[in-house]
Amino acid sequence: MKIFSESHKTVFVVDHCPYMAESCRQHVEFDMLVKNRTQGIIPLAPISKSLWTCSVESSMEYCRIMYDIFPFKKLVNFIVSDSGAHVLNSWTQEDQNLQELMAALAAVGPPNPRADPECCSILHGLVAAVETLCKITEYQHEARTLLMENAERVGNRGRIICITNAKSDSHVRMLEDCVQETIHEHNKLAANSDHLMQIQKCELVLIHTYPVGEDSLVSDRTKKELSPVLTSEVHSVRAGRHLATKLNILVQQHFDLASTTITNIPMKEEQHANTSANYDVELLHHKDAHVDFLKSGDNHLSGSSREGSFKETITLKWCTPRTNNIELHYCTGAYRISPVDVNSRPSSCLTNFLLNDPRYKIDGSLEIPLERAKDQLEKHTRYWPMIISQTTIFNMQAVVPLASVIVKESLTEEDVLNCQKTIYNLVDMERKNDPLPISTVGTRGKGPKRDEQYRIMWNELETLVRAHINNSEKHQRVLECLMACRSKPPEEEERKKRGRKREDKEDKSEKAVKDYEQEKSWQDSERLKGILERGKEELAEAEIIKDSPDSPEPPNKKPLVEMDETPPVEKSKGPVSLLSLWSNRINTANSRKHQEFAGRLNSVNNRAELYQHLKEENGMETTENGKASRQ
């Protein structure tokens, strides 16, 4: 159905002239005696509805079904006509509900049978109906504004449903002529107006209603084109339930509805709570719901539904749903429904089962929430390792308090405090030499050493925090805390020693952090990989050191003080141990830094003879060292 088809605007024009106060002559027993009542009471006399009551309740039922199935974009304007036209509501969406209409109808009240019939006419209402059809609805306005220069594509069509008591076929003709003429006139007016629209198509549905038992003075007539703009059809219907049935058929035709009857729904009996009986409930909905069904050739069409509705109903057997709502089912369509018999017990039992408990709505903020959601995704994915073995910090429970808040747009003082606590806690872990969950997959041996593990962890944490420093000044403070606390990064000098290749990597990964907004996040993991590779390389270097005494010093290992005290090893004996090599190197290095002690230089087998000059002075008397001192 097009948005702006005839069904976009429906005008009800209901006759409020004195003769509508007449009885429809269909009696309703309302004083139904309940069982076990005192004998001998005569029930109150049945009452009957007026033509007016029948017309109003049938039109309300039409609106009820329409609003249920089309809560938006299908609008009703309700007009009653007597000595003038009373327009009960407007096209605005707020006016489109049963409560509004019922209240307005109550204010109008039933027709006054003693009013002067000469002053009253349905024509006032019909003229007002045409007028109101020219008025633009908010949906039309919106569409026109959106289409700009194509605004003329927005159609203005509508339907007038007029319920009246006509005197004759020629009276009906007169009403049709009046509508046609009025459309002609108003279209001229609308052509020169910005806030009115010309009527392109109008469907007039004239319903002549009369008391049961009387002869109709008006004959039925199927839809006929009176002009390119106006079509008209005439229905002559007895009042009472016949009128209601007619309007039920019409609402189905006008809004392309179809009927489905759900059968065999088990319901608990009010009287006997332990037993359940099966009931059927008939529902109306858009007929698209049946399209695939009919295509499959497997139609469950049953005979005409109760109460002689004009259409077939498709019967479906009730299937109590499983309470598993975590599964997605393939669904090609979902349709709004309206129960045919809304307040029958089985209908209300079914609808109450299907309706969930009232729940509440999320408050909308000024900003578009969906944009905020996207923004949040952007923040959360600034640093996101794809592989669990490539991350340390996201494998650490201890990091969670920081990682969960740092992605926020803004931090509270408490958040900052928690982040700082997290960092202190990590420092503490490092001091205690706690193990870290660093994956050894893909690395040879046991993986990086403990201090190297911490270096990787600190680097990763820094990457995470740096990705968010522009969020707020408090984020900046978290980074400052991190930088102050983390174990010192390697000295600049030593970094240089690590060679050109590694430098490149370092630069690249640092750039990735700076340009996180432009760069794909892979580069973060690239950086991480870089860190790991570096770890591996260093490990490999350590191995190289074992083999070749000429390798440069390992960057991290500063000569330890204790080394000076290790006893020198004999150079000449057998294969050289790493320790001796090491000591040698250290000694060599140290030796360059000071002038060697003269005694050591002249020593034989590490023994230097003291007081040699005395020996020279005294000739060859003293042969043993030391003796001379005792002299």
Partner 1 sequence: MPTVVVMDVSLSMTRPVSIEGSEEYQRKHLAAHGLTMLFEHMATNYKLEFTALVVFSSLWELMVPFTRDYNTLQEALSNMDDYDKTCLESALVGVCNIVQQEWGGAIPCQVVLVTDGCLGIGRGSLRHSLATHNQRSESNRFPLPFPFPSKLYIMCMANLEELQSTDSLDCLERLIDLNNGEGQIFTIDGPLCLKNVQSMFGKLIDLAYTPFHAVLKCGHLTADVQVFPRPEPFVIDEEIDPIPKVINTDLEIVGFIDIADISSPPVLSRHLVLPIALNKEGDEVGTGITDDNEDENSANQIAGKIPNFCVLLHGSLKVEGMVAIVQLGPEWHGMLYSQADSKKKSNLMMSLFEPGPEPLPWLGKMVQLGPISDAKENPYGEDDNKSPFPLQPKNKRSYAQNVTVWIKPSGLQTDVQKILRNARKLPEKTQTFYKELNRLRKAALAFGFLDLLKGVADMLERECTLLPDTAHPDAAFQLTHAAQQLKLASTGTSEYAGYDHNITPLQTDFSGSSAERI
Which residues, numbered 467-526, are part of the site for partner 1 (CB under 8 A)? 516, 520-522, 525
Position 359 contacts partner 1 (CB under 8 A): yes
Position 106 contacts partner 1 (CB under 8 A): yes
**What is the rounded distance in angstroms from the CA atom of residue 532 to the CA atom of residue 445?**
14
Task: Restricting to residues 524-543, name those near partner 1 by CB under 8 A.
Answer: 525
Judged by beta carbon, residue 372 or residue 496, the one nearer partner 1 is 372
Q: Which two tokens stand for residue 537?
A: 């390389």
Judged by beta carbon, residue 210 or residue 516, the one nearer partner 1 is 516
Tell me how many residues contact partner 1 (CB under 8 A): 105
Q: Which two tokens stand for residue 391?
A: 């991350």
**What is the rounded distance in angstroms from the CA atom of residue 180 to the CA atom of residue 224?**
13
Position 61 contacts partner 1 (CB under 8 A): yes
Give φ, ψ of 302 to 5 degrees: -110, 180
Q: How many helices (H) and strands (E) does the chain have?
A: 20, 14
Among 24, 60, 206, 481, binds partner 1 (CB under 8 A): 60
221-225 vs 47-50, strand pairing mode: unpaired
Position 550 contacts partner 1 (CB under 8 A): no
Place of tokens 């975590």: 326
Residue among 432, 226, 248, 227 at smallest CA distance from 235: 248
Task: Name the strand (E) or helix (H) holding 59.
Answer: helix 51-69
Position 339 contacts partner 1 (CB under 8 A): yes
Judged by beta carbon, residue 142 or residue 503, the one nearer partner 1 is 142
Among 213, 303, 364, 619, binds partner 1 (CB under 8 A): 364
Place of tokens 């332990």: 274
Site mask, partner 1, residues 30-59, x = CB under 8 A? xxx-x---x--x--x--xxxx-xx--xxx-
Judged by beta carbon, residue 51 or residue 393, the one nearer partner 1 is 51
Judged by beta carbon, residue 194 or residue 363, the one nearer partner 1 is 363
Position 111 contacts partner 1 (CB under 8 A): yes
- DSSP type of residue 237: E
Span near partner 1 by CB under 8 A; candidates 292-300, 548-556, 592-600, 604-612: 292-300
Task: Name the strand (E) or helix (H) holding 591.
Answer: helix 578-593
Helix (H, G, I), strand (E, B) or coil at 414: helix
Position 64 contacts partner 1 (CB under 8 A): yes
Judged by beta carbon, residue 211 or residue 426, the one nearer partner 1 is 211
CA 571 to chain centre: 77
Length of the chain in residues, anyone?
631
Position 105 contacts partner 1 (CB under 8 A): yes
**What is the rounded distance in angstroms from the CA atom of residue 531 to the CA atom of residue 533?**
5
Among 295, 322, 488, 613, binds partner 1 (CB under 8 A): 295
CA 33 to chain centre: 54
Position 222 contacts partner 1 (CB under 8 A): no
Task: Restricting to residues 228-287, name those near partner 1 by CB under 8 A.
Answer: 241, 244
Task: Restricting to residues 126-185, name those near partner 1 by CB under 8 A.
Answer: 143, 147, 153-155
Nearest distance from C-beta of residue 359 to partner 1, angstroms: 6
Judged by beta carbon, residue 423 or residue 467, the one nearer partner 1 is 467
Judged by beta carbon, residue 346 or residue 447, the one nearer partner 1 is 346
Span near partner 1 by CB under 8 A; candidates 128-136, 192-200, 340-348, 569-577: 340-348
**What is the rounded distance in angstroms from the CA atom of residue 332 to the CA atom of residue 292?**
9
Residue among 191, 174, 200 at smallest CA distance from 9: 200
Nearest distance from C-beta of residue 569 to partner 1, angstroms: 48
Position 333 contacts partner 1 (CB under 8 A): yes
Give φ, ψ of 127 to 5 degrees: -65, -45
Q: What CA–CA distances, in Å, run from 162 to 24, 194, 199, 433?
A: 18, 28, 18, 89
